A and B are shown apart, each in its own frame.
Chain A
Amino acid sequence: MPEIILKNLTKTFGSVNAVDNLDLTIEDRDFVTLLGPSGCGKTTTLRMISGLETPTVGEISIGGRVVFSSEKQINLSPDKRDVGLLFQNYALWPHMTVLQNIAFGLENMKWSKEEIRKRVKEMGDLVKISDLLDRYPSELSGGQQQRVAIARTLAPNPKVLLMDEPLSNLDAKLRMEMRAELKRLHREIESTVVYVTHDQLEAMTLATKVCLLEEGVLQQFAPPLVIYDQPANVFVGDFIGNPSMNFFDAKVDRVEGEMIVLRTSELRLEMLLMKKDYEVKSGDEVIIGLRPEDIELKPYIGENTCTIYSTLPSGMETVVRAKIKNTMFSIVVFGRVDFVVDSVMEISFPSSNYLLFNKETKEKIGAGSLKLT
């Protein structure tokens, strides 16, 4: 039921559009992450949904009810929107105990003492803080504060849960742990979650759908693996994935049916387009995109060789930089392997999901296999 629909949502600060004409439909029980570099408008979007920020233009409806509309002059205050908001810094009230923090919202809703007591206990059990109820926030660790904040947000049972970078103040290990718990929590409480983060790994791993923004403009709204495999444009391809995608400027030399002959400054490649969004013709300026793990290194010498420039082995995988002539590739090799710097190796492109973008519009043209010629 709680479906969130944003229509032409725009927020202007001075002369800058923090959010620009955003259209988004978040379906019931989705876990949507708003992802983007800092200052891209993701927090502003979240705050507009919550009602803490007033949009300049547009319409927001939650669960079929219009909560904001610039046209119809509707602007419900945050308390009437039935949303929960989890803040980046937790925003626990320092002068109240954990119990008082959790109970505060329930008191506002005029719950009876008995109901409040029951609910607080329930929440304490859910996020595993039952033995901390009498402590003050300053006496808790970061992870515990985080759990209290979650309990406080969930206690009134909001239909929509908004989270603003809730894990960014935790250390790496705790963050991993909380991610898993948040995902589990989402299953248990069955509400719609909108989650802001600048951490692409977090966005990818948690979400049912990722919404990638840049400078207030929606770049792509799709499930994580679609975003990864079929980035809508160069920005998405570049932003998602670590190490990031290899990009090479190229010019279309010839088009023979589905076969395109491409020329970079040093290399000549043939690409067989399997999925195609736009047509290409010879003379077009394009960008080729290759995921680092889609490039293969082999020890024997065949027709295409490269020179190892540097290696960064981490155990699970090794990030290699290697050169063909002066063109640098970044390559990920899985497993416990390492390579000798300055040695020569065979390089090949076994995948069929290399990407082609329009250089001018930066939009994706299509995907296909690639061969050095």
Chain B
Amino acid sequence: MKKLVNRLLAYFSKPEHTILVVLLVVLIYLTIVPLFYIGVDTLTVHSAEVRRIRGSSVGDFTTYHWEYVFNSAASDNLFYKPLINTLLVAIATCAFALIVGGFFAWMVTRTNLRFKKSISTMMLFPYIMPSWTLAMAWLNFFKNKSIGGVPGIFTALTGIETADWFAYGFVPIVLVLGMHYAPFAFILIGGILRNMDANLEEAAVILKTSRLRIILKITVPIVMPAILSTFLLVFSSAMSAFAVPSFLGGPVRYQVLTTQLYRTINGVNPGAGYIIASFMIVVGVAILTINQIIIGKRKGFTTVTGKSGNISLVNLRKLRTPVSAIMMVILVAVAIIPLLTFAAQSFFVEPGNYSFSNLSTIFWTGEGSPDIANGEPGILKNKYVYQGLFNSFSLSLVVALIAGTIGILIGYSVAKTRGKFGSNMVDRLAFFPYLIPSMAFGAIYLSMFSVQRGFIPPLYGTFAILALVGSVKYLPFASRAGINAILQLGKEIEEAAIILGVRWWKRMVKIIIPIQKPTVISGYLLPFISSMRELALYILLVTPATSILTTMLFKYNEKGWNQYANAIVLLIIGIVLIFNFIINKVTGASLDKGIGG
């Protein structure tokens, strides 16, 4: 007994062990336990469901939800059709993103394209901007009269009425999501192409191989793991996308799993929603597990990096200038023009009337008049907007502080005890939230914390639940940064201080953190920006008192108050871009260099 106590004391005398054990307990509670509760919730009668399930009362055990979702007259519309839509959207998005991103990556790394630098920079724009910005821009351009609204810019300029299939639903969802994730394919494939030993291709040139055969037989097989990995990541991101299908699919009732999840949980059948959420979690975890396996196997493909700077570029000859110009135009259309439309839209009083006399700053600085949007004042005079801005800011700040700090602690304890069981567990648990689709993650927290759990009071409707869900969801960014920071440092640096008898706290604050400042800062800033532009994660958990900018945007958009929505989009993009720019300047990190998703 005494021996055991001594061993425990010896174990916990090292700070990394204490931190590790605490983290292990907390992380299990925040990532694994909720999965159990959401499982229970799929078998429980909720208050909204008492009337649909005859003779039941709240809290009763029931299999009603499972039957309803998978095997009832409503299953087709509730689950199977949205599932098929989701799969189609995800696959088409992957294809689009891979083709566009891969093409741009190949052009930039392997040909004598012009404006390479601008193209590479602009290519990242659609990814840095929240995905719904492009969706909003699409609506600004192509919306039509068929759903009672006013026509978009395209119709106003050309007089051509856009068809429903082009304005809403599958096509625009795929184009917008595909364009949003194309940069992701661009970064991953471009990275491999850039690091891939150019000699591999040159060896084929010398052996009299045709250009096409080189691409098919050498280049593609070697970048295949990256392509596969991109495919899976884009697939899981597209599957969990909410804002884009909601904005673009809503008008024609094009439903996907996330929109159904939102409807059911917010509506009359939360139990069904929890089942959809569980389903998405299983798929998400499965996909990203496959991805990890592929990445693990990629070792077989690592090639000695050679003098890639020497690579002979494909001469585009006559096509050089036109192709470069076309690519630039596409990127400008996707990266810059949307911003202009937001600005433009927010200044036109009467939507759809694009004449100068119609310009006004009413939606920015107006006091609000009863005939426009129920007297909602302009967003710069609107106390709800300021409330939302304040909420967004303070939420993101709190999330960044919690995630960033825990990230460093995880980094420290995992790196110091590397290879041990506890270390691997904490590492995996901290990464786990990354595998779960945002909205499903919101759903499990809703399920877990809407009632009292032990000493934790019901958190629904509080700021705390938003901060909690955000912190845990973005922990993967922070913990990766933390682990990298400590691993890069090497243990000698800290051991030198231990020899001198410096205490743990001082070692962290005076030695480790200052040396790895850029990585540590990015561990704080990435969660901040991500939270700033997040919608799907928070949408199930906000109440009017805790609403944030993105959820306000969503509400304005639902009500059709276009100018307000556009003005808020500009506000959010402005904040995101400014902070991304700051991070980039300060640390060299950027949203696009995060672990993706």
Contacts and interface: CB of A to CB of B under 8 A. Distances in A.
A84 B209 contact: no
B4 interface: no
Nearest to A50: B206
A105 B202 contact: no
A138 to B, nearest CB: 5
Contacts of A104: 204, 207, 209, 217
A84 B207 CA distance: 7
B208 A105 contact: yes
A83 B208 contact: no
Given A52-B312, A136-B300, A85 B204 contact: no
Given A53-B310, A53-B312, A136-B300, A91 B197 contact: yes
A91 B203 contact: yes
Contacts of B287: none
Interface string A326-353: 0000000000000000000000000000
Contacts of A94: 222, 300-303
A90 B199 CA distance: 8
A93 B208 contact: no
B207 A105 contact: yes
Nearest to A44: B310
B205 A95 contact: no
Contacts of A108: 207-210, 213
B200 A91 contact: yes
A89 B218 CA distance: 16
Size category, B interface: 20 to 34
A43 B221 CA distance: 28
B170 to A, nearest CB: 36
A156 B204 CA distance: 12
B149 to A, nearest CB: 53
A95 B301 contact: yes
Contacts of A71: none
- Interface class of chain A by DSSP: loop
Contacts, number: 79
A4 to B, nearest CB: 16
Contacts of A109: 208
Interface string B177-215: 000000000000000000001011011111111100100
A192 to B, nearest CB: 16
Contact of A79 (B209, B222, B300): B209
Given A89-B197, A93-B218, A136-B300, A52 B207 contact: no
A95 B213 CA distance: 15
A76 to B, nearest CB: 12
A53 B224 CA distance: 28
B222 A83 contact: no
Contact of B306 (A53, A85, A89, A136): A89
A19 to B, nearest CB: 14
B209 to A, nearest CB: 5
A78 interface: yes
A85 B203 contact: yes
Contacts of A83: 206
Contacts of B213: 108
B304 interface: yes
Given A53-B310, A94-B222, A138 B300 contact: yes
Contact of A156 (B199, B208, B310): B208
20 contacts: A43-B310, A52-B206, A52-B310, A52-B312, A53-B310, A79-B209, A85-B206, A87-B202, A87-B306, A88-B199, A88-B306, A89-B199, A89-B306, A91-B199, A91-B306, A105-B207, A108-B210, A109-B208, A156-B207, A156-B208
